[in-house]
Amino acid sequence: MSDSQETIARTIADNDVVLFMKGTADQPQCGFSNQVVRILDHLGVDYSDVNVLADPDIRDGVKVFSSWPTIPQLYVKGEFVGGCDIVREMFQTGELKTLLADKGLLETA
């Protein structure tokens, strides 16, 4: 396993909710990343943000890691949830909140 793959695996293992994104949660640098940040903030869940723009190895590496070609990418408890469209759809249907609550990451409503 390359260094970047190990770093990504460790980041995902060490944090319950991880968002690989362009920019930071405070300053997203892409509309898709911004949408996911706003959804996670709205739900009030704690999450770690990883700015892929700061590290080209991570930026390419996470695409390989997930077999997913685009950023953002959301992981919950080690599991790849999806990109922006999936997160938005799951938010709109309430599935995302349920998922986070089931994992003990949100107070149940």
Partner 1 sequence: MAMSAQDLEGLLRDAFADADIKIDDLAGDGDHYRAVIRSDTFVGKSRVAQHQMVYAALKGRMGGELHALALETGPKSA
Q: Does 89 bind partner 1 (CB under 8 A)?
A: yes
Interface region with partner 1, contact rule CB under 8 A, candidates 4-12, 20-28, 42-50, 80-88: 80-88
Of 1, 69, 107, 108, the residue at the interface with partner 1 (CB under 8 A) is: 69
Q: What is the DSSP letter of 81?
A: E
Map the footprint of partner 1 across residues 27-66, applying CB under 8 A: 32, 63
CB 94 within 8 A of CB 106: no
How far apart CA 107 and CA 8 sit, in angstroms, is 28
When the beta carbons of 54 and 64 are compared against partner 1, the nearer one is 64
Q: Does 85 bind partner 1 (CB under 8 A)?
A: yes
When the beta carbons of 28 and 82 are compared against partner 1, the nearer one is 82
CB 34 within 8 A of CB 19: no
Q: Does 72 bind partner 1 (CB under 8 A)?
A: no
Q: What is the DSSP letter of 23?
A: B
Binding site for partner 1 (CB under 8 A): 32, 63, 67-70, 80-86, 89-90
